[in-house]
Amino acid sequence: NAIEAKDKAPYDYRADFIKDDYNNIKMKGYGNSDVMAVTPMHGTHVTGIIAAARNNGIGINGVVENAEVMMLRVVPDGDEYDKDIVLAIFYAVDNGARVINMSFGKSYSPDKKWIDSAIQYADLKDVLLVHAAGNESSDVDVKENYPMPFYIDGLRAPNFITIGASSDPKISGTLAAEFSNYGKNMVDVFAPGVKIYSTLPTGKEYGNQKGTSMASPVVAGVAAFIRSYYPSLTAIQVKDIIEQTVYIAPDNVVVLKPGTKEKVSMKDLCRTGGIVNAYNAIMLADKIAGTSNKKIKRK
């Protein structure tokens, strides 16, 4: 089978089950309302991190209070299709999303031009895209991880923020999670992504999971927190606020390059060299929104 697969295209299961013309981006009336699919574990855990009911004495407190969540199931039990991601972004933007969390990724994007159009549309409509960096302990400045913030023409999308996963150095011995992807240029900030306690699908259970999929909704939650209190701030301003207010660990905190025992600086792993900090972010947001809503200096 492995030898045959090198010369023979895989069977088109999509044509049997989805019944769309994949090459026609305008054909979008497909799919169903079954967001549970094979398992809703991943999406339920991610959603709880963002918006689980706060201060009710049950389970966990989500990052942001009074958030309204739109759940779109775009990834099957396996690799995602570019077309599905594109149409989901367009749908979310057209139906009022202000922040879109994307806890998925892959190393190959055959229809990147479609993805680029969706990112540009979100930018046009003032929507922030938050994307997980991936869990292969890889340098994504070198090894591609899609969707990515750079368009085909090389320009960087200003409304796109990429998130690596941090850990507790007192427990793991390193501030950067050993599985997290990283990139001095491609990854913007890190956020907690190890032993993250959140909601599970039954509605009555909670549990721990790890991954940049858990780190991304932490930042999405902070972005939603900012936008809920200061709706006049733009998506680009919110991104810049998050980046400018990160927690910078002191020099005595150990940071190992993910997948290795090599000691590095957080500045070697992401653009800001820090961990998302909700308190610092909301303080700066308050200052900016309370003065003249002046755009802060772009990095």
Tokens of 192: 């907690």
Q: CA 49, CA 222: separation in Å to the nearest integer?
A: 11
Q: CA 215, CA 125: separation in Å to the nearest integer?
A: 25
Of the candidates 166, 180, 198, 213, the residue annotated as catalytic is 213
Tokens of 252: 């005595």
Is there a catalytic annotation at residue 45?
A: no
Pairing of strands 196-199, 206-209: antiparallel
Q: CA 163, CA 213: separation in Å to the nearest integer?
A: 9
Pairing of strands 196-199, 128-132: unpaired
As a three-state string, the secondary structure of 233-283 is CCHHHHHHHHHHCCECCCCCCCCECCCCCCECCHHHCCCCCCECCHHHHHH
Of the candidates 12, 21, 168, 286, the residue annotated as catalytic is 12
Is there a catalytic annotation at residue 42?
A: yes
CA atoms within 13 A on the CB side of 147: 34
Of the candidates 42, 117, 126, 141, the residue annotated as catalytic is 42
**Residues classed as catalytic:** 12, 42, 213
